Amino acid sequence: MAAVSETARNADPAPAPPAGAEAGVATPARRRKADPRRRVLDAAAACFTRAGFHATSMQEICAEAGMSPGGLYRYFPSKDAIILAIVEEERSARMQMLDMMHAAPSFAAGLTAMGQALFSGEMPMVCADLGPEIAAEAARNPKLKATFDEADEEMGNAIREAFLAGQRRGEIDAAIDPDIAMTLIDAIGDGLLLRRRLQPELPLAAMMPSFGDLIARMLAPVKPAMVDPT
């Protein structure tokens, strides 16, 4: 057997592979690295959050993703294509959040659970950071608006059904117009996303139970006035 060189004998031992890396098992980091499309979307979301859609160039997204322009354009031919892909991903994540609404004991509790998941990062949705930016871009971009409106309507219809179920259970005043209530609830959600951008230090996840209590009180049936028997 050939003699081992002095350099080899004195070299530090090779670092142990991360847990799960043995036998070819892909760790989360390796899976992420192996998915160039995912790298582009994550990089684009980071760039858009910092500078907005229009101020971000494809070159900056390439740099953030550690990818050549040729590699990026292989997956996304334009910045609009990246934005559309982000909106479609959000659509899928929103549907997952609706499971929390359906599992909650009341309509207000369902909104609370969804808000906590969003603002705590339990559900890694980029709309927590990009919501106002996506909405503003949708107002300018007809192609994006069509996709955005589809996703928004899908979510809105599901929440409206949960609202109607709350009315049938008697926890929500039957006299409240569901369409008016949905407009107000949408405005509250949009406002919280904007407030998060303006005041990122706000502990919105921790505040959600109090917000939920306020919404429950706002929607509760009106109690009949007490009549003085005298």
For 187-203, the pLDDT digits (tens) are: 999 899 889 888 989 99
Closest of 190, 186, 187, 209 to residue 198, by C-alpha = 190
| pLDDT one-digit tens code per residue, 106-162 | 999 999 999 998 888 776 655 667 777 888 888 888 888 888 888 888 889 999 999
Same domain assignment for residues 104 and 152: yes
Banded model confidence at residue 174, pLDDT cuts 50, 70, 90? very high
Same domain assignment for residues 59 and 168: no
Banded model confidence at residue 29, pLDDT cuts 50, 70, 90? very low
Q: How many residues can be counted in the chain?
A: 230
Res. 26: pLDDT tops 70: no
Same domain assignment for residues 151 and 196: yes
Output the pTM of the full model.
0.71
HSE of 131, CA atoms in CB hemisphere, 13 A: 22
Number of domains forming the structure of the chain: 2
Contacts of 85 (CB under 8 A, 6+ apart): 41, 76
**Where among 62, 77, 92 does a domain terminate?**
77
pLDDT, residue 218, reads: 96
Same domain assignment for residues 88 and 63: no
Same domain assignment for residues 156 and 195: yes
Same domain assignment for residues 120 and 213: yes
Q: Looking at per-residue confidence, does 22 or 188 come out higher?
A: 188
Candidate from 71-75, 89-93, 97-101, 123-127 with smallest mean pLDDT: 123-127
Res. 5: pLDDT tops 50: no
Res. 45: pLDDT tops 80: yes
Contacts of 118 (CB under 8 A, 6+ apart): 97, 125, 127, 128
pLDDT, residue 1, reads: 40
Q: Average pLDDT over the chain, rounded to whole?
A: 81
Contacts of 157 (CB under 8 A, 6+ apart): none
Contacts of 161 (CB under 8 A, 6+ apart): none
Q: Cβ–Cβ contacts within 10 Å for residue 10, how many?
A: 7
Same domain assignment for residues 124 and 214: yes
Exposed/middle/buried for residue 174 (C-beta within 10 Å: 0-12, 13-18, 19+) = exposed
Same domain assignment for residues 42 and 121: no
Same domain assignment for residues 128 and 198: yes
Owning domain of residue 142? 83-219
Q: What is the CATH number of the domain that holds 150?
A: 1.10.357
Banded model confidence at residue 7, pLDDT cuts 50, 70, 90? very low
Same domain assignment for residues 56 and 122: no
The one-letter code for the residue type at 154 is E
pLDDT, residue 125, reads: 59
Exposed/middle/buried for residue 2 (C-beta within 10 Å: 0-12, 13-18, 19+) = exposed
